[in-house]
Amino acid sequence: MHNVVCIKQVPDSAQIRVHPVTNTIMRQGVPTIINPYDLFALEAALELRDKFGGEITVVTMGPPSAEDSLRKALTFGAERAVLLTDRCFAGADTLATTYALATAIRKIGKDYGQPDLIFTGKQTIDGDTAQVGPGIAKRLQVMQLTYVVKIGALDLTARTIEAERRSEGGVQVLRTRLPCLITMLEATNQIRRGAMADALRAARAPIVKWSAQDAGVEDISKCGLKGSPTVVKRVFAPSARADKATLVEPSEEPAQALIDTIFKHQPKLEADLAALAGNV
C-alpha cells in the first residue's frame, strides 16, 4: 500500500519567548521540530507498512529549511520525502494550505502510485486549528476519519478501513472506504527509534523538491496570501489585569490564612463548597 503522511515543521513552541517591550516573537535560537502531533500520524503509517508492505511518502509545505524535518522523517523509515516550496505559498491560511497540499498529493499519486491513506496529525502546535486535515480530504474528495485512536480492520481488496475515533463522550467505531484521510490523536502510539540503516539513508537521500508549477498548481491565485480568505489584522499581547493578586501574608498557618482570605473575598463560596464536599 502507499500512504502519504503530511507533516509540518514548527518552532518548538515550548521555547518561544515574547519580547517584553516590543511584544514580538523572539525566534533567536528557537529550534524547529516536526509538529509533535504529526509523529503519531507517521508512526501509524509505519505500523501499517510493517503489516501490509508498501511505501510511505512524507510531504510538507514550507521554506527550504523544512528539508530538515523531512530528513528526520526519513530516519524513522519513510521511503520518500517531498518538499513543496515556493514563494507563492507564503502567507497561506488553512484554505490556501489545503489547496497546495491537495494538489501535491494528486501529483504524488500520479508519480508514485495512488495513496490508500493520507495521514495528518490532529493539529499543529503553532496553528492549533485542526482544519488542514479535513480540508485536504474535502479537496481530494476522499473520506475522512479525524481524531483516530485506533486503526482496525483494513481490507485492501474490498478497499475498506475500520477505525475508532474519539468523539464527545465516547469512541465512535466506523467503517469507510479507501482512499481515506486520517488524523491521528496524540498518545495513540510512540514514534519508533529509527534503524541505523534508515539514518544513514536519510542523510544522503534526495528530497523531491517541487515548486508550485512542479506540483501541478494551475491557479496561483489560490495559493498563499492571495488564496487566503482570512486576514490577520492585528497581533497583540494580552492586556494585564489592572490589579495583581492579593498576596496572603506569610504566617504560622498559611493554609488557614488562605482559606480565610478566600471566603472573605467570596463569602458565598463557602456554602457552595460545603455542598460539593458533602457529596464526596
Partner 1 sequence: MTNVIKAPASSAAGRAAAKKELPEHFRAYKHVWVFVEQERGEVHPVSWELMGAGRRLADKLKVDLAAVVIGPEGEAARNAALQSFSYGANLVYLVADQVLADYRNEAYTKALTDLVNSYKPEILLLGATTLGRDLAGSVATTLLTGLTADCTELDVDSDGSLAATRPTFGGSLLCTIYTLNYRPQMATVRPRVMPMPECIARDPGRIILHSLDLIEADIVSKVLSFVPDRDSSISSLAYADVVVAGGLGLGSVENFELVRQLAAVLGAEHGCSRPLVQKGWVTSDRQIGQTGKTIRPKLYIAAGISGAIQHRVGVEGADLIIAINTDKNAPIFDFAHIGVVTDAVRLLPALAAAFQARLSPRLRDRVVSHDFRGAPQRRRGP
Site for partner 1 in 76-95 (CB under 8 A): 90-91, 93-95
Span from 75-83, 159-167, 203-211, 212-220 in contact with partner 1 (CB under 8 A): 159-167
Q: How far is the CB of 232 from partner 1 (least distance, A)?
A: 5
Residue 212 near residue 88 (C-beta atoms within 8 A)? yes
| Total of chain residues touching partner 1, rule CB under 8 A | 95
Phi first, then psi: give them for residue 90, nearest 5 degrees: -65, 140
Nearer to partner 1, 173 or 200 (CB): 173
Phi and psi dihedrals of 135, rounded to 5? -65, -40
**What does residue 201 show for φ and ψ, rounded to 5 degrees?**
-65, -40
Taking the complex as a whole, the smallest distance from the CB of residue 79 to partner 1 amounts, in Å, to 28
Residue 41 makes CB contacts below 8 A (sequence gap 6+) with: 5, 6, 7, 119, 120, 121, 182, 183, 184
Among residues 53, 57, 28, the alpha carbon closest in space to that of 41 is found at 57
Residue of 19, 51, 110, 193 interacting with partner 1 (CB under 8 A): 19
Site residues for partner 1, 119-158, by CB under 8 A, read: 125-135, 137-139, 143-144, 146-147
Q: What is the DSSP letter of 250?
A: P
Residue 201 C-beta: closest distance to partner 1, Å: 30
Locate 214 and state its grid cell.
512542479
Site string for partner 1, 186-225 (x = CB under 8 A): xx------------------------------------xx
The distance of closest approach from Cβ of residue 81 to partner 1 in the complex, given in angstroms and rounded to an integer, is 24
Label the pairing between strands 170-177 and 160-167: antiparallel
Helix (H) or strand (E) holding 26: strand 25-26
CB of 137 to partner 1, least distance (A): 7
Of residues 35 through 54, those in contact with partner 1 by CB under 8 A are: none
Cβ nearer to partner 1, comparing 53 with 249: 249
Read off the C-alpha cell for 145: 476519519
